[in-house]
Structure 1
Amino acid sequence: MRALLLATIAALAMPAEAEVKEGPEAAAVETPSAALARLFRESDEAKLRRNPVMALIRGDLRYADQFGDYVSDAYFAAEKAAAEADLARLGAIDRAALSPEEQVSWDVFRWQRTVELAGFAPGILELAKHLPVDHFNGLHALVPDLFSGQSIAPFRTVKDYEDNLKRLDGFVQTLDRTLARMKDGLARGIVQPRIVSERVLGQLDRFVEGGVERMPLMFPAGNFPATIPEADRARLRAAYAAKVENEVLPAYRRMRDFVRDDYLPASRGDEQPGLVSLPGGARYYAYLVRLQTTTNLTPDAIHDLGLAEVARIRREMERVMREVGFRGDLRAFFEHVRTDPNLKFASVEAMGEAYRAAGRRVEAGLGRLFADVPKTPLEIRPVPAFLEKDAAGAYYQPGAPDGSRPGVFYYNSYDLPSRTTPGVETLYLHEGIPGHHFQVMLAFENERLPAFQRFGGNTAFQEGWALYAESLGRELGLFTDPYQYYGRLDDEMLRAIRLVVDTGIHHKGWSRQKAIDFMLANSSQGETDVVNEIDRYIAMPAQALAYKVGDLRIQAARRRAEKALGKAFDLKAFHREVLMTGALPLEVLDAKIDRWIAAGGRG
Structure 2
Amino acid sequence: MSASRSAPAPASGSSVIHEISDAFVNDYAVLDPSTATYLGVPGQDENLTDYSPEGHQARAELAARALREIGAAEPATDGERLAKAVFQERVGLDVERHEAGLTTASLNVISSPVQDLRQVFDLMASDTADDWAVISTRLAKAPQALDGLRASLLHSADKGHVSAIRQVSGVAEQCETWAGLRGGTSFFATMVAAADKVDGVSDALRTDLRTGADAAARAYGEFARFLREELAPRAPKRDAVGEDHYRLESRYFTGAKLDLHEAYEWGWAEFSRIEAEMKQVANRIRPGSTLAEAAAALDADPRYRVHGQDALAAWMQQLSDRALAEVRDVHFDIPDPLMRLECKIAPPGGGVGAYYTGPTDDFSRPGRMWWSVPADREEFSTWREVSTVYHEGVPGHHLQIATAVHQAAELNRFQRLMCWVSGYGEGWALYSERLMRELGYLDDDGDLLGMLDAHLFRAARVVVDIGMHLELEIPKGTGFHEGERWTPDLGLEFMLTRTITDPTHVRDEIDRYLGWPGQAPSYKLGERLWLAAREEAKARQGADFDLKSFHTKALRAGAMGLDLLREQMIG
TM bucket (normalised to shorter chain) is 0.7 to 0.9
Note the C-alpha offset of 1:254.
2.5
- Once residues 83 and 145 of structure 1 are traced to their aligned partners in structure 2, the CA distance between those partners, rounded to angstroms, is 25
Flag the 1:303–1:582 CA change in 2: closer, same or farther, 3 A.
same
- Once residues 336 and 494 of structure 2 are traced to their aligned partners in structure 1, the CA distance between those partners, rounded to angstroms, is 39
Say yes or no: does 1:406 pair with 2:369. Answer: no
Residue 391 of structure 2 aligns to a residue whose secondary structure is helix
Q: Residue in 1 aligned with 2:22?
A: 41
Q: Residue in 2 aligned with 1:483?
A: 446
Contact 1:443 1:582 in 2 (8 A): yes
Q: Residue in 1 aligned with 2:44?
A: 63
Contact 1:435 1:466 in 2 (8 A): yes
Q: Return the match for 2:207 from 232, 235, 238.
A: 238
Residue 381 of structure 1 aligns to a residue whose secondary structure is strand
Contact 1:320 1:486 in 2 (8 A): yes
Q: Residue in 2 aligned with 1:311?
A: 272
Flag the 1:60–1:294 CA change in 2: closer, same or farther, 3 A.
closer
Greater shift, 48-57 or 462-471, is seen at 48-57
Flag the 1:566–1:201 CA change in 2: closer, same or farther, 3 A.
same
Q: Output the TM-score relative to the length of structure 2.
A: 0.87
Say yes or no: does 1:394 pair with 2:360. Answer: no
Say yes or no: does 1:436 pair with 2:436. Answer: no
Q: Residue in 1 aligned with 2:423?
A: 460
List gaps (5 residues or longer) in structure 2. 473-485
Say yes or no: does 1:176 pair with 2:147. Answer: yes
Note the C-alpha offset of 1:437.
0.8
- Once residues 549 and 403 of structure 1 are traced to their aligned partners in structure 2, the CA distance between those partners, rounded to angstroms, is 31
Flag the 1:17–1:349 CA change in 2: closer, same or farther, 3 A.
closer
Q: Return the match for 2:462 from 499, 516, 532.
A: 499
- Once residues 580 and 421 of structure 1 are traced to their aligned partners in structure 2, the CA distance between those partners, rounded to angstroms, is 32
- Once residues 216 and 87 of structure 1 are traced to their aligned partners in structure 2, the CA distance between those partners, rounded to angstroms, is 39
Flag the 1:187–1:346 CA change in 2: closer, same or farther, 3 A.
same
- Once residues 496 and 43 of structure 1 are traced to their aligned partners in structure 2, the CA distance between those partners, rounded to angstroms, is 36
Say yes or no: does 1:16 pair with 2:7. Answer: yes
Q: CA offsets per residue over residues 440-463 of structure 1, 9 Å max, x none?
A: 111112211100001122111111
Q: Return the match for 1:252 from 205, 214, 220.
A: 220
Contact 2:360 2:366 in 1 (8 A): yes
Note the C-alpha offset of 1:338.
6.5
Q: CA offsets per residue over residues 176-229 of structure 1, 9 Å max, x none?
A: 122233334455554333332332222222233459993333455433388753
Contact 1:335 1:524 in 2 (8 A): no
Note the C-alpha offset of 1:329.
4.4
Contact 1:365 1:476 in 2 (8 A): no
List gaps (5 residues or longer) in structure 1. 1-13, 20-31, 277-281, 596-603
Q: CA offsets per residue over residues 135-168 of structure 1, 9 Å max, x none?
A: 2234443333322xxx222235555444434333
Q: Output the TM-score relative to the length of structure 1.
A: 0.83
Q: CA offsets per residue over residues 314-348 of structure 1, 9 Å max, x none?
A: 12112212333421445655665667777554444
- Aligned letter for 1:243? G
Say yes or no: does 1:584 pair with 2:560. Answer: yes
Flag the 1:356–1:16 CA change in 2: closer, same or farther, 3 A.
closer
Contact 1:286 1:298 in 2 (8 A): no
Contact 2:468 2:491 in 1 (8 A): yes
- Once residues 196 and 40 of structure 2 are traced to their aligned partners in structure 1, the CA distance between those partners, rounded to angstroms, is 18
Note the C-alpha offset of 1:579.
0.1
Note the C-alpha offset of 1:468.
0.7
Q: Residue in 1 aligned with 2:436?
A: 473
Flag the 1:366–1:316 CA change in 2: closer, same or farther, 3 A.
farther
Note the C-alpha offset of 1:411.
2.6
Contact 2:356 2:392 in 1 (8 A): yes
Contact 1:354 1:424 in 2 (8 A): no
Note the C-alpha offset of 1:357.
4.4
- Once residues 160 and 361 of structure 1 are traced to their aligned partners in structure 2, the CA distance between those partners, rounded to angstroms, is 32
Flag the 1:593–1:141 CA change in 2: closer, same or farther, 3 A.
closer
Residue 15 of structure 2 aligns to a residue whose secondary structure is helix
Residue 422 of structure 1 aligns to a residue whose secondary structure is helix
- Once residues 533 and 383 of structure 1 are traced to their aligned partners in structure 2, the CA distance between those partners, rounded to angstroms, is 18
Q: Residue in 1 aligned with 2:239?
A: 273
- Once residues 141 and 256 of structure 2 are traced to their aligned partners in structure 1, the CA distance between those partners, rounded to angstroms, is 37
Contact 2:332 2:551 in 1 (8 A): yes
Q: Residue in 2 aligned with 1:7?
A: none
Residue pairs, 1:407-426, within 5 angstroms: 407-414=367-374, 416=377, 419-426=380-387
Q: Residue in 1 aligned with 2:480?
A: none
Q: Return the match for 1:293 from 254, 257, 265.
A: 254
Number of residue-to-residue matches in the alignment: 548
Greater shift, 160-169 or 528-537, is seen at 160-169
Flag the 1:239–1:300 CA change in 2: closer, same or farther, 3 A.
same
Q: CA offsets per residue over residues 450-500 of structure 1, 9 Å max, x none?
A: 000011221111111111110111343311211211111111111111111
Note the C-alpha offset of 1:590.
1.7
- Aligned letter for 1:489? L
Q: Residue in 2 aligned with 1:93?
A: 73
Q: Return the match for 1:129 from 78, 85, 104.
A: 104
- Aligned letter for 1:166? T
Contact 2:164 2:236 in 1 (8 A): yes
- Once residues 182 and 458 of structure 2 are traced to their aligned partners in structure 1, the CA distance between those partners, rounded to angstroms, is 39
Greater shift, 188-197 or 424-433, is seen at 188-197
Q: Residue in 2 aligned with 1:279?
A: none
- Aligned letter for 1:274? A
- Aligned letter for 1:254? E
Flag the 1:581–1:225 CA change in 2: closer, same or farther, 3 A.
farther
- Aligned letter for 1:367? D
Say yes or no: does 1:145 pair with 2:119. Answer: yes
Q: Return the match for 1:51 from 26, 32, 47.
A: 32
- Once residues 136 and 346 of structure 2 are traced to their aligned partners in structure 1, the CA distance between those partners, rounded to angstroms, is 25
Q: Return the match for 1:198 from 153, 169, 177.
A: 169
Residue 98 of structure 2 aligns to a residue whose secondary structure is coil
Identical-residue share of aligned pairs (%): 25
Q: Residue in 1 aligned with 2:481?
A: none
Residue 527 of structure 2 aligns to a residue whose secondary structure is helix
Flag the 1:584–1:185 CA change in 2: closer, same or farther, 3 A.
closer
- Once residues 296 and 330 of structure 2 are traced to their aligned partners in structure 1, the CA distance between those partners, rounded to angstroms, is 37
- Once residues 528 and 574 of structure 1 are traced to their aligned partners in structure 2, the CA distance between those partners, rounded to angstroms, is 38
Residue 111 of structure 2 aligns to a residue whose secondary structure is coil
Flag the 1:37–1:207 CA change in 2: closer, same or farther, 3 A.
closer
Q: CA offsets per residue over residues 342-371 of structure 1, 9 Å max, x none?
A: 755444454344434433552324433112
Contact 2:56 2:103 in 1 (8 A): no
- Aligned letter for 1:112? R
- Once residues 180 and 311 of structure 2 are traced to their aligned partners in structure 1, the CA distance between those partners, rounded to angstroms, is 32
- Once residues 212 and 354 of structure 1 are traced to their aligned partners in structure 2, the CA distance between those partners, rounded to angstroms, is 29
Residue 119 of structure 1 aligns to a residue whose secondary structure is helix
- Once residues 234 and 17 of structure 2 are traced to their aligned partners in structure 1, the CA distance between those partners, rounded to angstroms, is 49
Contact 1:156 1:225 in 2 (8 A): no
Residue 368 of structure 2 aligns to a residue whose secondary structure is strand
Contact 1:442 1:580 in 2 (8 A): yes
Q: Residue in 1 aligned with 2:195?
A: 224
Contact 2:29 2:41 in 1 (8 A): no
Q: Residue in 2 aligned with 1:24?
A: none
Residue 195 of structure 2 aligns to a residue whose secondary structure is coil
- Once residues 71 and 303 of structure 1 are traced to their aligned partners in structure 2, the CA distance between those partners, rounded to angstroms, is 37
- Aligned letter for 1:480? D
Residue 384 of structure 2 aligns to a residue whose secondary structure is helix
